[in-house]
Structure 1
Amino acid sequence: MNICSAIVHAKPEMAGVVRTDLERFPGVEIHGGVEEGKLIVTLEGENDDALADTMAEFNDVTGVINTVMIYHYCAEESADEEVSK
């Protein structure tokens, strides 16, 4: 399990559109900050590379100024935990 949180800085007038575009990425949730143009985002994915690639793609979204990772959590699940899901 890999989870990251990030702040996506967007042009304030584009923040609503940016939110919609970011929510189309798999594993992405927006938790606030749209009004200020500083979107609070979490990403969940299979591995570090996938999350890094997704965050890099955020910067290609029209209206995004930049993306800053705030937190990263990585834990390997045991075979028993995977079976119980």
Structure 2
Amino acid sequence: MNVIGVLVHAVPERVSEVEIEIAAMDGVEVHAATGDGRLVVTAVDIGERFASDSLMAMNHVAGVIGTSLVYHASEPDDVAA
């Protein structure tokens, strides 16, 4: 399983819309948003969708200026015995 931390930079006037759309993505959580357009986000692998796919999708949200990957951790998936 992959876990990533992302800093999303959005147009300040659209940060609320961006936060709602990003938070609606499976495996994605918005932890903080600032008035100047920055959001602190984490994403994890969900089924066939990798956390990196979510990162790429964030870049296509209307109002997003850019994203920065600031953290990555990878752990083996739990295997049922």
The TM-score range, normalised by the shorter chain, is 0.7 to 0.9
- Give the alignment's Cα RMSD to 1 decimal: 1.9
TM-score by length of 1: 0.83
Q: Does 1:30 align with 2:30?
A: yes
Structure 1: 5+ residue stretches without partners = none
Q: 2:10 is matched with which residue?
A: 10
TM-score by length of 2: 0.86
Shift of 1:34: 3.4
Q: Give the 4+ runs in structure 1 shifted more than 3 A.
A: none
Q: Distance in 2 between matches of 1:65 and 1:76?
A: 33
Shift of 1:50: 1.6
Q: Contact 2:9/2:39 (CA < 8 Å) preserved in 1?
A: yes
Give the helix-richer structure, 1 or 2: 1
The verdict on how the C-alpha distance between 1:71 and 1:17 changes in structure 2, with shifts beyond 3 A counting, is same
